[in-house]
Amino acid sequence: MIFKQIPSGGDRNFSYLIADESTHEAACVDPGSAPFKELKMIEDEKLKLLTIINTHDHFDHTEGNIFLASKTGAKVAMHESAHSPHDISLKDGYVLKVGSLELRIIHTPGHTPDSICILAGNDLLTGDTLFVGKVGGTGYGQDAQDEYDSLHR
């Protein structure tokens, strides 16, 4: 598996490139405000970007979608409850194939109602469900309860 973490600005935000080493099929997770880095890596590694996955519907995670999709033809995948335009609606337990790799979707509401985590082999991409060094931010009341439930169940 090719697995690259790319700093993308904001509050400890990262985007990720995940690819099958044999087929070079790839997914990009959370292309932020500088998707040029992701595109350069895709071109340098000779990857075929099939899917752009957003861990939730916040601008700092979705801003690069249009640019990358227009340059690569990739489809955008988000949780089914997301409001931004997307081509593939994801549900808890959905398995997205990238070559021979399986990316398992885990619905983790709390930071936002549409938050997901992605299990790629032994790597877990958490979006803003968990930040580097702390729990992801929430609103009050039900959002906080949903985040607690997501983290403990």
Residue among 51, 32, 1 nearest 128 (CA): 32
Q: Between β-strands 123-125 and 116-120, what pairing exists: parallel, antiparallel or unpaired? A: antiparallel
Of 4 and 59, the structure prediction assigns the larger pLDDT to 4
**Cα dihedral across residues 16, 28, 64, 127: positive or negative:** negative
The answer on pLDDT for 138 being more than 80 is no
Local structure of 112: helix, strand or coil: coil
Q: What's the rounded mean pLDDT across residues 5-34?
A: 89
The answer on pLDDT for 132 being more than 80 is no
